[in-house]
């Protein structure tokens, strides 16, 4: 009986204190590019989606974001353009703001140049 109690105690303690090997999987997205087919489609871009893509990244990981506008009317001086920004994941808010500002400025520049071309 004494041996049975000792064996049971040893078995329970070995199960309770057994080591588990934890496997941690880490994934980092490095870049994203969105393409639109017209100047009007720029307004359909959901800028929050850029933030959502990189929110699980390591704050020190390097990221790249790019927006490409294609197939602007052929009679225009600018037929397509792209804007990109690079930085660290921890800077995602300012990077998205820079990208949005750059895309909207390029859109306005394309419109202005195209109007001058028509005159």
User: How far is it, in rounded angstroms, from Cα 23 to Cα 25?
Assistant: 6
Residue 45 belongs to some domain of the structure: yes
User: How far is it, in rounded angstroms, from Cα 97 to Cα 80?
Assistant: 21
Residue 51 belongs to some domain of the structure: yes
pTM: 0.70
Residue 48 belongs to some domain of the structure: yes
If one counts every other C-beta atom within 10 angstroms of the C-beta of residue 34, the result is 20
pLDDT of residue 111: 80
Residue 15 belongs to some domain of the structure: no
Residue 14 belongs to some domain of the structure: no
- CA-to-CA separations, 5 to 26, 37, 84, in angstroms, rounded: 45, 76, 70
pLDDT digits (tens, 9 = 90+) for 51-103: 998 888 888 999 999 999 886 766 566 678 899 999 999 999 999 999 999 99
- Total domains, the chain: 1
pLDDT digits (tens, 9 = 90+) for 36-59: 988 888 889 999 988 998 888 888
Question: Which structural domain, as residue segments, surrounds residue 78?
Answer: 26-118
């Amino acid at each position: 009986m004494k041996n049975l109690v000792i064996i049971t105690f040893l078995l329970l303690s070995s199960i309770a204190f057994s080591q588990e090997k934890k496997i941690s999987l880490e994934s980092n997205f490095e870049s994203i590019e969105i393409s639109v087919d017209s100047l009007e489609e720029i307004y359909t871009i959901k800028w929050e989606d850029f933030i959502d893509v990189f929110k699980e990244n390591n704050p020190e990981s390097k990221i790249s974001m790019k927006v490409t506008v294609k197939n602007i009317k052929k009679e225009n001086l600018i037929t397509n353009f792209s804007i990109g920004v690079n930085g660290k994941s921890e800077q995602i808010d300012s990077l998205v703001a820079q990208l949005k500002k750059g895309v909207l400025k390029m859109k306005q520049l394309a419109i202005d140049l195209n109007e001058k071309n028509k005159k």
